[in-house]
Structure 1
Amino acid sequence: MSLLLTCTCLCWAEQCPTEKRVSKGRALTRISNCKETGRNFTCRCASPEDHLNGTVTTRLLPMLYTLVLLVGLPANAMAFWVLATKTKKCASTLFLLNLAGADLLFVLLLPFKISYHLLGNNWLFGEYACRALVTLFYGNMYSSILFLTCISLDRYVSLVHPFIWRGSERVCGTVGICIGVWLAIGLGMSPLLLIHHSQHVPQLNITTCHDFLEQSTETQYLAYYFPTLVVLGFVLPFVIIVFSYGCVLAHLLATRGHYGHVVRVLVLVLLVFALCFTPSNVLLFSHYLQGTSSSRNDAYIHYVLALALSAFNNCFDPFIYFYISRDFRAQLGSMVCCPWRQQDKASLARACENLVLPLRSSEQSQP
């Protein structure tokens, strides 16, 4: 809560510059809109230069991404290693493994994002690296949503319709679904690879990445692309997840089964959607529906903050692995909580061997 209040205060602090500047830009660039009323000037939003020099983008954003990196890298690396080497390869484990892989790839790219903001939103790694970063950034968000959807459907089928899909066919089908999800993500993110994302800002002598693009024919289709992406990649999966866990909960209540675990998983997944995915997708959808009006540009600073908050799903996902997979909980507990027990068992076994061998040798030496 304190993080959200800090972000809101910093947003309001940057929304009233004293200079009147107008700049052409892409939809996600804030445009100055100051008008004179009597003897006073009323400023509704900051110019792109004010935004690029502001405290939010040069201080707060790198702090948020650094926090995600420090928490998400060790958590997802351990989760990926446990899921890949220590757990049984069932359907739910395969979905969790792909989700952990997507999160791990994302956090490995965060140093480039952090350096970009710390350098005053100056991109030093070239146009193609910028395209790759933007594509992987959005790809991580929507791949996480789709794999969470697959996990919810898998739990629905396992508990409500357990005899529909079983055995090796289910594992092979899960592999095919994972491949299909990655192909869908690659196809859905491919338009972002075709757009020129880096833009030189001569007033500040910096090169931005995805923050400031001139209006052109190649960017006009984004007004249709992003709303479609939000509907298919966020709204529809959210409806499926709520339906799946709702049916699972209703089934457990009807059969008088234990539903506490399902409720905890449902609350955790909804929390990830509410805090991480909902703000950025709602702002992105409304942003492109408002056309080129100034009110649309007023929301840009909130949108980049929402994107930073969406990165925190990489910190929450390991908790989802913990609650969903019983095998993951057992393996993680044996590694983290009780490593000394395994050492004690090994030392006890060696002590027994050392005790038994002399007795046997002494028995053999007796006539």
Structure 2
Amino acid sequence: MNELLKTTAVNTSSNTTVNGSTFHCSHRDDDFKYRAYTFTYLLVFPVAFLCNVGALLIFFCSRRRSASCVVMINLAISDGSFSLTLPLRLAYYIGGGEWYFPDWLCRLCVYGFYVNLYSSILLLTLLSLLRWMAVVQPLRHRTLATPTRTLLVCLGIWVFVGVASAPFLAHGVKLRGGVLRCFEPSTTSSWYRVLVLNYVGLVLGFLLPFFTIIACYSSIIRRLTASSGPLGGHQTSSCTRSRRRSVHLVTMVTATFLLSFLPYHVIRSVHLHAVCGRWSCGLTHTLQRAVSVTLCMAASNSVVNPLLYYYCTRTFRDRARDAQSTLSSRGGSIRGSVMRRRNTT
């Protein structure tokens, strides 16, 4: 929440006063924050947009659509939609923190970040539950995990995250220092309101899914370890491929949570307590920089998910290779026709 968690304070020597309430210190790390976000979003935007649009094309061209495929389509939609808000953020940060666009676009950018963040977490959790059911309870997986039912669950996740993130639509453009600002709270009391929202997101949007994933993957690892023992020595090639995909999924989703989501939620919570609890200025500034870095890591998740599609879905991998070979053959035929024309002339 660091983009939302920036003070709108007016500096008065070493203290900051907003609406009659005084902060014990002010934040002066806008330059660091803007550089970090600009660098990250310049890298993330083209990669996230192209990879997720390409993933959607491959998924929609696939005739065989499994329950896991439905979840990954929703992940690609979430990440692709988030990437479309990045040019507005880049314009804001490159412009030194001045918002030139309508107020509703500011609210939509703030809202879109949290919808993407928590929809990605919950969809990855659903994907993990489907893989757990496929490995541990394959009969129930065949009967329950149909594409239609999975789509309904995905729609439920969208509705839940959309409604739960609605409070962030209340934060629009604010005037600070004679400049229109976005992604910043308006009053001192807003820090305490955001602290409450932080714990709602922390418990429902991160801790509960994280422990669910840990439980699923512990069960998967136990089952895979048991099936690879002496009694499970005669395994078909399809079972071996399924086990390999399960291991890939376990590794990549766990790494995503540990590298993208865990640091951001931990540092964000500590930083909010530092601000609301009036900790020392040096520690608060350090935590503010740490939140900026971990938020960049969380935003980079939209680039990581396409790797998940490729390494964990055989159909996606085959389609991607087919598309690559098709483009290569077309490129070769175009170059050949150009060379023939040159020779004839």
What TM-score, normalized by structure 2, do the two folds share?
0.80
Matching residue's letter, 1:68: V
- Equivalent position to 1:99, from 60, 75, 83: 75
Whether contact under 8 Å (2:119, 2:158) holds in the other structure is: yes
Shift of 1:85: 2.2
Shift of 1:284: 1.9
Going from structure 1 to structure 2, the CA distance change for 1:172 and 1:301 (only over 3 Å counts) comes to: same
Question: How many Å separate the matches in 2 of 1:339 and 1:127?
Answer: 43
Q: C-alpha deviations, 1:194-235, integer Å up to 9, x for none? A: 3x3432122xx322212342124x664322221121111111
Other-structure match for 2:36: 60
Shift of 1:97: 0.1
Going from structure 1 to structure 2, the CA distance change for 1:340 and 1:126 (only over 3 Å counts) comes to: closer
Whether contact under 8 Å (2:79, 2:302) holds in the other structure is: yes
1:23 and 2:11 aligned:
no
Other-structure match for 1:270: 254
Q: C-alpha deviations, 1:243-265, integer Å up to 9, x for none? A: 21221121121112644443332
- Equivalent position to 2:29, from 31, 51, 59: 51
Whether contact under 8 Å (2:48, 2:303) holds in the other structure is: yes
Going from structure 1 to structure 2, the CA distance change for 1:186 and 1:243 (only over 3 Å counts) comes to: same
Other-structure match for 2:151: 175
Other-structure match for 1:76: 52
Whether contact under 8 Å (1:201, 1:207) holds in the other structure is: yes
Question: How many Å separate the matches in 2 of 1:68 and 1:339?
Answer: 24
Other-structure match for 1:4: none
Whether contact under 8 Å (1:156, 1:245) holds in the other structure is: yes
Matching residue's letter, 2:246: V
Question: How many Å separate the matches in 2 of 1:343 and 1:307?
Answer: 40
Other-structure match for 2:160: 184
Going from structure 1 to structure 2, the CA distance change for 1:168 and 1:212 (only over 3 Å counts) comes to: closer
Shift of 1:25: 5.7
Question: How many Å separate the matches in 2 of 1:332 and 1:189?
Answer: 34
State the SS of the aligned residue for 1:200.
strand
Considering Cα pairs closer than 8 Å and 6+ residues apart, tell me whether 1 or 2 has the greater RCO: 2
Going from structure 1 to structure 2, the CA distance change for 1:161 and 1:342 (only over 3 Å counts) comes to: farther
State the SS of the aligned residue for 2:15.
coil
Q: C-alpha deviations, 1:160-179, integer Å up to 9, x for none? A: 11111435872221111011
Q: Which has the larger radius of gyration?
A: 1
1:208 and 2:181 aligned:
yes
Shift of 1:98: 0.1
Going from structure 1 to structure 2, the CA distance change for 1:275 and 1:337 (only over 3 Å counts) comes to: farther
Structure 1 runs not aligned, ≥5 long: 1-18, 34-46, 345-367
Matching residue's letter, 2:160: A
Matches within 5 A, 1:97-246: 97-166=73-142, 170-194=146-170, 196-202=171-177, 205-216=178-189, 220-246=192-218
Moved more, 262-271 or 108-117: 262-271
Other-structure match for 1:88: 64
State the SS of the aligned residue for 2:146.
helix
Going from structure 1 to structure 2, the CA distance change for 1:212 and 1:169 (only over 3 Å counts) comes to: closer
- Equivalent position to 2:222, from 245, 250, 253: 250
What TM-score, normalized by structure 1, do the two folds share?
0.76
Matching residue's letter, 1:288: L
State the SS of the aligned residue for 1:23.
strand
Whether contact under 8 Å (2:18, 2:187) holds in the other structure is: yes
Shift of 1:143: 0.7
Whether contact under 8 Å (2:131, 2:246) holds in the other structure is: no
Q: Identity of paired residues, percent?
A: 26
Going from structure 1 to structure 2, the CA distance change for 1:25 and 1:80 (only over 3 Å counts) comes to: farther
Shift of 1:319: 0.6
Whether contact under 8 Å (2:129, 2:213) holds in the other structure is: yes
- Equivalent position to 2:272, from 285, 288, 302: 288
Whether contact under 8 Å (1:87, 1:93) holds in the other structure is: no
Moved more, 60-69 or 280-289: 280-289
Q: C-alpha deviations, 1:5-56, integer Å up to 9, x for none? A: xxxxxxxxxxxxxx94322469xxx9664xxxxxxxxxxxxx33x323x2x2
Moved more, 249-258 or 145-154: 249-258
- Equivalent position to 1:304, from 285, 292, 295: 292
Whether contact under 8 Å (1:31, 1:297) holds in the other structure is: no
Question: How many Å separate the matches in 2 of 1:243 and 1:287?
Answer: 29
